[in-house]
C-alpha cells in the first residue's frame, strides 16, 4: 500500500488479495473486468529470503505445506486442468533485478515461486492473460519479512518497508519502460 500512486505517469492500482487458493484469482478477475491494465504484478512474502526476488516461472501445481488462510491445503493438484505445465513471465525480470541492485536494494532472480498461493496466483494471472487478455503482461515478486515480523524469529532475514518500496518502484519502472530482458547471467547451479 505504500507504493506511489503513479510511476512515470502511469497509475499504480493497488489491490490486496486473500492468501487463499482460487479466491485470490476471483478478486483479481473482478478488477480485470472493471479496468484495462497493461501489467499486473502480484507481490507476496517469502519469509526467509534475504532479497526481493522477481519470479521467472509459475508451475501448474498446488502443493501446500500449510493450509491457506481459509484452511485449504491442496496436495499435488493441478491449478488448471487445461493449462500448460508452466508459464514463464513476459516481464524483464533480469532488468528488474539489476535496477533494484543499482538502487542499493538486495535483489536476485528466483526460479521457483513455490507451490503455495504465490505460485498459484502467478500461474492464474498468466492463464487469464493467455486466454482473455492477450496484451496483458503478468508476473510476481517475492519480498522478505519486514523487521517487525522477525522480532521473535532469531536469525530470520528482514528488509525495511522503505527499502522494499524503493526496490518495487525500481522494478515497476523497468516493467513500464522495457519489453525485453537483458542477456546477463542470473542463473543458478542448484
For residue 57, the domain's CATH number is 3.40.630.20
Q: How far is CA 103 from CA 159, 165, 170, in A?
A: 14, 11, 8
Q: Is residue 182 part of a domain?
A: no
Q: From first to last of the 190 residues of the chain, give the pLDDT tens digit.
A: 799 999 999 999 999 999 999 999 999 999 999 999 999 999 999 999 999 999 999 999 999 999 999 999 999 999 999 999 999 999 999 999 999 999 999 999 999 999 999 999 999 999 999 999 999 999 999 999 999 999 999 999 999 999 999 999 999 999 999 999 999 999 888 8
Q: Please, what's the b/e burial string for 16-50 (b: 16 or more CB within 10 A of its CB; e: otherwise)? A: ebebbbbebbeebeeebeeeebeebbbbbebeebe
The backbone torsions φ and ψ at residue 87, rounded to the nearest 5 degrees and listed phi first, read: -125, 130
Q: Is residue 170 part of a domain?
A: yes
The pTM assigned to this predicted structure is: 0.96
Number of domains in the chain: 1
The angle at the Cα of 188, spanning 186 to 189, to the nearest 5 degrees, equals 150
Cα distance between residue 93 and residue 95, in whole Å: 5
Q: Name the residue range of residue 17's domain.
A: 6-177
Q: Is residue 183 part of a domain?
A: no
DSSP state of 147: G
Q: Is residue 190 part of a domain?
A: no
Q: What are the catalytic residues?
A: 55, 118
Q: Is residue 78 part of a domain?
A: yes
Q: Is residue 1 part of a domain?
A: no
Q: Is residue 124 part of a domain?
A: yes
Q: Is residue 184 part of a domain?
A: no
Amino acid at each position: 500500500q505504500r507504493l506511489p500512486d503513479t510511476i512515470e505517469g502511469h497509475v499504480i492500482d493497488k489491490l490486496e488479495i486473500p492468501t487463499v487458493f482460487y479466491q485470490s484469482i476471483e478478486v483479481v478477475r473482478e478488477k480485470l473486468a472493471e479496468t484495462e491494465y497493461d501489467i499486473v504484478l502480484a507481490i507476496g512474502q517469502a519469509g526467509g529470503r534475504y532479497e526481493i526476488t522477481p519470479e521467472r516461472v509459475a508451475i501448474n501445481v498446488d502443493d501446500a505445506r500449510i493450509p491457506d488462510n481459509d484452511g485449504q491445503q491442496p496436495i499435488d493438484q493441478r491449478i488448471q486442468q487445461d493449462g500448460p505445465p508452466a508459464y514463464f513471465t513476459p516481464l524483464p525480470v533480469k532488468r528488474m533485478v539489476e535496477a533494484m541492485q543499482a538502487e542499493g536494494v538486495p535483489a536476485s532472480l528466483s526460479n521457483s515461486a513455490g507451490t503455495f498461493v504465490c505460485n498459484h496466483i502467478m500461474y492464474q494471472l498468466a492463464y487469464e492473460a493467455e486466454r482473455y487478455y492477450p496484451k496483458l503482461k503478468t508476473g510476481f515478486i517475492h519480498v522478505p519479512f519486514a523487521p517487525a515480523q522477525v522480532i521473535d524469529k532469531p536469525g530470520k532475514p528482514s528488509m525495511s518497508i522503505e527499502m522494499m518500496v524503493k526496490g518495487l518502484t525500481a522494478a515497476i519502472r523497468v516493467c513500464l519502460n522495457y519489453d525485453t530482458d537483458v542477456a546477463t547471467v542470473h542463473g543458478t547451479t542448484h
